C-alpha cells in the first residue's frame, strides 16, 4: 500500500535507504527545510517507508508510478567492503539503480533533481597525493567495482534525467553500524574496554562528519541547479591515520586502551592512503565539510554515552 505522501501540487522527496545511517540524518536535514520525505526499503517498517526491493524492476516501477517524486536521493547500496556475497554488490548497486532510473524515466513528469551516491573507493590507490574527479578510477574490490559499473550505467541517463552524482570519501557519525571502523573504535572506548583488535594502524583516510555530508546532499538536491550532469567528490581534504584517530579518541575519552593487531583484519588490497580534493564541489556550491574530525569523535562518544541516541 502506498502512503498518502502529498497533495497534488506539493513537492515530495524520495530517499532510498531512508532508515539507514545516512538516510536518517538526511531526512532530518530535509525535513528541517520543510520537505516532505518518504523512503523505500526492503522491509518498509521504518517511519515514512514503503516496502520495495530495488532489485525487483516491476515492484520499483509500480511504486515510483504511484509516488511520482519531485526529487530523489538514491542512497541504497551494499557498502560494507567485507560483505560475504560478491554478487549482491552488483545486484543492488548496479541493477537496483538501473531499475530506479528506468522507473523515474517512465513518469509523465520527470523529477526535478536526482542525487545518485557513488563512492571514492572507485579511485583505488592512485599515484597522486590528492584525488580530484579527473583521476582515472582503478577499483580493487567488489564494492568499488560495482560502484564504478553503476557510474558508467548512470552516465547513459544524463541526457534523459536531471542527475547529480557524488563520490563520498569516508564519513561517520552517531548511528553508524559498529561493523565500520570508527564506530567500532568509539564503542570500545565508550565501554572502557581494556583492548581492541585492529588491522593496519598506518592506513590514512579522508574523514568527514555525516552532518556535513547530508548538508551538502541537501544543497545539491534542492539548490545548485548548475550541478546537474556533474560528479562531485564529497570530502574534507584532510587525511587521518588510524593511529592518529586512536590517539584523538583516547584523549577525548580519557581512557587508555591496548591495541592488538589481528592479522586477519589486514586486507591484502588495503589502500594505504585516500585523500580527496573538494575544489569542484566548492566551485559549484560554495560548500565543503567543515566540522573538525575531533568534534565528530567527541559527538559520537558523548551522544551515545549520555543519551543512547542512535539516529
- Catalytic machinery residues: 143
Structure-block grid coordinates of residue 300:
559520537
pLDDT of amino acid 153: 98
- Parallel, antiparallel, or unpaired for β 208-209 and 113-117? unpaired
Give the total number of structural domains in the chain. 1
In order of 57, 79, 109, 235, 297, the CA distances from 100 in angstroms are 8, 18, 15, 26, 35
**258 within domain boundaries:** no
**146 within domain boundaries:** yes
**215 within domain boundaries:** yes
**1 within domain boundaries:** no
pLDDT of amino acid 82: 59
**132 within domain boundaries:** yes
**308 within domain boundaries:** no
Q: Indicate yes or no: pTM above 0.85.
A: yes
pLDDT of amino acid 303: 86
Query: Whole-angstrom Cα distance, residue 242 to residue 17?
Result: 28
pLDDT of amino acid 205: 93
pLDDT of amino acid 5: 43
- Residue 90 belongs to what domain range? 13-172+209-237+275-290
pLDDT of amino acid 297: 97
Q: What is the pLDDT along the chain (311 residues), one digit of tens a residue?
A: 344 444 434 789 999 999 999 999 999 999 999 999 999 988 777 778 999 999 999 999 999 999 999 999 999 988 655 556 789 999 999 999 999 999 999 999 999 999 999 999 999 989 899 999 999 999 989 999 999 999 999 999 999 999 999 999 999 999 999 988 999 999 999 999 999 999 889 999 999 999 999 999 999 999 988 899 999 999 999 999 999 999 999 999 988 999 999 988 887 767 788 899 999 999 999 999 999 999 999 999 998 544 433 33
- CATH code, domain carrying 118: 3.40.50.720
**47 within domain boundaries:** yes
pLDDT of amino acid 142: 92
**196 within domain boundaries:** no
pLDDT of amino acid 306: 41
Amino acid at each position: 500500500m502506498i502512503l498518502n505522501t502529498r497533495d497534488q501540487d506539493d513537492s515530495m522527496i524520495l530517499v532510498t535507504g531512508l532508515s539507514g545511517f545516512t538516510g536518517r540524518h538526511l531526512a532530518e536535514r530535509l525535513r528541517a527545510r520543510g520537505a516532505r520525505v518518504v523512503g523505500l526499503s526492503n522491509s518498509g517498517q521504518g517511519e515514512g517507508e514503503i516496502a520495495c526491493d530495488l532489485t525487483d524492476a516491476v515492484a520499483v516501477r509500480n511504486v515510483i508510478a504511484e509516488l511520482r517524486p519531485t526529487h530523489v536521493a538514491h542512497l541504497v547500496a551494499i557498502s560494507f567492503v567485507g560483505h560475504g556475497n560478491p554478487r549482491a554488490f552488483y545486484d543492488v548497486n548496479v541493477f537496483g539503480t538501473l531499475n530506479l532510473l528506468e522507473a523515474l524515466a517512465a513518469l509523465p513528469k520527470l523529477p526535478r533533481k536526482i542525487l545518485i551516491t557513488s563512492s571514492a573507493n572507485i579511485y583505488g590507490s592512485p599515484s597522486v597525493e590528492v584525488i580530484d574527479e579527473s583521476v582515472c578510477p582503478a577499483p580493487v574490490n567488489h564494492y568499488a567495482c560495482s560502484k564504478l559499473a553503476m557510474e558508467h550505467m548512470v552516465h547513459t541517463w544524463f541526457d534523459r534525467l536531471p542527475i547529480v552524482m557524488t563520490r563520498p570519501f569516508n564519513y561517520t557519525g552517531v548511528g553508524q553500524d559498529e561493523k565500520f571502523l570508527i564506530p567500532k573504535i568509539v564503542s570500545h572506548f565508550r565501554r572502557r574496554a581494556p583492548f581492541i583488535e585492529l588491522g593496519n594502524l598506518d592506513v590514512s583516510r579522508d574523514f568527514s562528519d555525516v552532518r556535513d555530508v547530508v548538508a551538502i546532499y541537501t544543497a545539491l538536491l534542492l539548490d545548485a541547479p548548475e550541478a546537474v550532469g556533474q560528479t562531485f567528490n564529497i570530502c574534507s581534504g584532510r587525511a587521518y591515520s588510524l593511529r592518529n584517530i586512536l590517539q584523538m579518541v583516547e584523549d577525548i575519552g580519557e581512557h587508555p586502551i591496548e591495541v592488538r593487531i589481528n592479522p586477519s583484519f589486514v586486507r591484502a588490497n588495503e589502500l594505504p592512503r585516500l585523500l580527496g580534493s573538494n575544489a569542484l564541489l566548492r566551485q559549484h556550491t560554495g560548500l565543503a565539510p567543515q566540522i573538525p574530525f575531533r568534534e565528530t569523535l567527541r559527538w559520537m562518544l558523548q551522544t551515545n554515552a549520555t543519551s543512547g541516541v542512535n539516529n
